[in-house]
Structure 1
Amino acid sequence: MAEAGHSPAEYVTHHLRHWSSGSDSGFISLSDWHLDTLIISTLLGIAFLTLFRIAAVRATSGVPGKLQNFVEVLIDFVDNSVKDSFHGVRTFVAPLALTIFVWVFLWNAMDLLPVDLIPKLWAAGHAAAGHDPAHAYIRVVPSADMSATFALSISVFLLIFVYSFKGKGVGGYFKEFLTHPFGPWLLPFNVILNFVETLARPLSLALRLFGNLYAGELIFILIALLPWWAQVVPGLGWALFHILVITLQAFIFMTLTIVYLSMAHEHH
């Protein structure tokens, strides 16, 4: 429920503003750092690595524990997804796909926390430190920050070039870029088509993830504007549906990454 003294518009605006190194300039900024996104993403990454490290250390050839079972099922699921789409050496692609799936899922899962939980704790910490709690901004869903989704998609975009040059060679890549799919006589059309296709990959990866999670976060905030007794049914219903969304978006990002790297590595 919106805090006393704050209009619904002020409540929504406050929850959608980042803890930034400068003045938060909106969806994406080239000059300011979204500190909340950086810190929460790092903590989630450390939690992921720590959990999997514990599972690896405790792994046994005998009767596996619940953690080992969970990790093995997840690894088999990701490895089978890579086998189905990527036909080269998987020593890098499979761990990359696992990292993307788990990390993006953890990013998305932060949306299931109560809307006011971390912001209120953050505001209390600001007040205890002698700062104005009204200016204590924090967002806890990294995938609802376009800066984070583009950072991840651009990393995949750069890997596409690495695997293109690795699989085809520099000359082979540019020959394919200039002559595929219509042949050398229609070179201008080939260049336009391949340029749009290449640029669309990081854009689609970043914007799809951002759009779905930003919309989900906004709906949770709007539900939080209702009186507490009216939040239970819509909040629970949206949370249950959102579990499917956060899993599906992590899977889509992973799958498209595998497919893009496979297409880059193979000759046409």
Structure 2
Amino acid sequence: MASEPQGGLTEYIQHHLTHLIPVGADHRDFWAVHIDSITVSLVLGVLFCLWFWSKARKATSGVPSKGQAFVEIILEFVDGQVKDVFHGDRRFLGPLALTVFVWVFLMNAMDLLPVDLLPWITEKFGIGHFRAVPTADTSMTFAMSITVFLLIIVYSFKAKGFNGYMHELFTAPFGKHPLLWIPNFALNLVELLSKPVSLAMRLFGNMYAGELVFMLIAGLFSAGAGVAGWALYGAGIIGYTVWGIFHILIISIQAFIFMVLTIVYISMAHDHH
């Protein structure tokens, strides 16, 4: 349940949108280290690895357990997406796509926790601000998208060589004439840089909006007194439940989109000539 501060709903939301940062740092600084986002993402990443490792270690060729069957469904689903798009060696891209899909889904799923749960727990240890959804943090989404961007560059050089990739950057799409080198390079640079920006902002925008809706609904729990207060309380519970069910679809779709676009962008870098 929400424990709304004295400043009202606005202060309540601002409080929950403030990241945990090192002492002395300014949370408004673009380069500020957000300890909460890093901590949650690392914990979820470790849990994901341990989960899949334990299922792989106990895997049998006979009738699989429910846990093994569930993991195999995820593996087959992701491998199918990679097969449909990427036609090169999948030994690296397959595990990458699996990691992206499951990890992003788990980070998104933190949005389904009650808004005040983790902040309430961390306050018991003297931590005043703690945001539970790493993908509602631009620092985290851009970190992932920049990693994908670097892989695009690596695969471009790997598939075409240095000379081939430089030739493509300066001669496509308008031709090889020297006067067209600069326009060609400018367009290719814009196209290249738009990929990590679109990846990061799409995921951030959807998760930030979802987080904000949960905060607005949570504000209804303490928005009034008497009959009106109980009515708002009931509306808050209904709204939280309905939005939570709908949000399961959103977090799944966003994880899927991030994975598919990662595969598509790397495939374009590998196959396009």
The normalised TM-score by structure 1 is 0.93
One-letter code aligned to 2:21: S
- 203, 214, 224: which one pairs with 1:220? 214
One-letter code aligned to 1:19: L
One-letter code aligned to 1:192: A
Shift of residue 17, structure 1, vs aligned partner: 0.3
- Residue 237 of structure 1 corresponds to 242
CA pair 4-11 structure 1, distance change in 2 beyond 3 A: closer
Q: Which moved more, 1:222-231 or 1:95-104?
A: 222-231
Amino-acid identity (%): 55
- Residue 85 of structure 1 corresponds to 85
- 133, 156, 161: which one pairs with 1:169? 161
- 190, 195, 204: which one pairs with 1:201? 195
- Residue 45 of structure 1 corresponds to 45
Provide the secondary structure at the position in 2 that maps to 1:265: helix
Provide the secondary structure at the position in 1 that maps to 2:88: coil
Shift of residue 24, structure 1, vs aligned partner: 4.0
- Residue 110 of structure 1 corresponds to 110
Shift of residue 124, structure 1, vs aligned partner: 1.9
Do 2:3 and 2:116's aligned partners in 1 also have CA atoms closer than 8 Å?
A: no
The normalised TM-score by structure 2 is 0.92
**Where in structure 1 do 4 or more consecutive aligned residues deviate above 4 Å?**
none
Provide the secondary structure at the position in 1 that maps to 2:40: helix
Runs (5+) with no aligned partner, structure 2? 222-232
Computed over aligned residues only, the root mean square deviation of the Cα atoms, in angstroms, reads: 1.2
1:248 aligns with 2:265: no
Provide the secondary structure at the position in 2 that maps to 1:19: coil
One-letter code aligned to 1:75: L
Kindly report which structure 2 residues correspond to 1:1-268, keeping only aligned pairs within 5 A, or say none.
1-21=2-22, 22-26=24-28, 29-30=30-31, 32-126=32-126, 136-185=128-177, 186-227=180-221, 228-268=233-273
| 1:7-30 Cα distance to aligned partner (Å, 9 max, x none) | 21111111000000143433x621
Do 2:5 and 2:12's aligned partners in 1 also have CA atoms closer than 8 Å?
A: no
Do 1:164 and 1:173's aligned partners in 2 also have CA atoms closer than 8 Å?
A: yes
Q: Which moved more, 1:116-125 or 1:149-158?
A: 116-125
Runs (5+) with no aligned partner, structure 1? 127-132
Shift of residue 219, structure 1, vs aligned partner: 0.5
Do 1:153 and 1:203's aligned partners in 2 also have CA atoms closer than 8 Å?
A: yes
- Residue 229 of structure 2 corresponds to none
Shift of residue 237, structure 1, vs aligned partner: 1.1
| 1:78-130 Cα distance to aligned partner (Å, 9 max, x none) | 0010011111000000000000000000000000000011111111221xxxx
Shift of residue 76, structure 1, vs aligned partner: 0.5
One-letter code aligned to 1:218: L
Do 1:144 and 1:211's aligned partners in 2 also have CA atoms closer than 8 Å?
A: yes
Q: Which moved more, 1:221-230 or 1:110-119?
A: 221-230
Cα distance between partner residues in 2 of 1:3 and 1:120: 12
Q: Which moved more, 1:187-196 or 1:237-246?
A: 187-196
The total of aligned residue pairs comes to 258
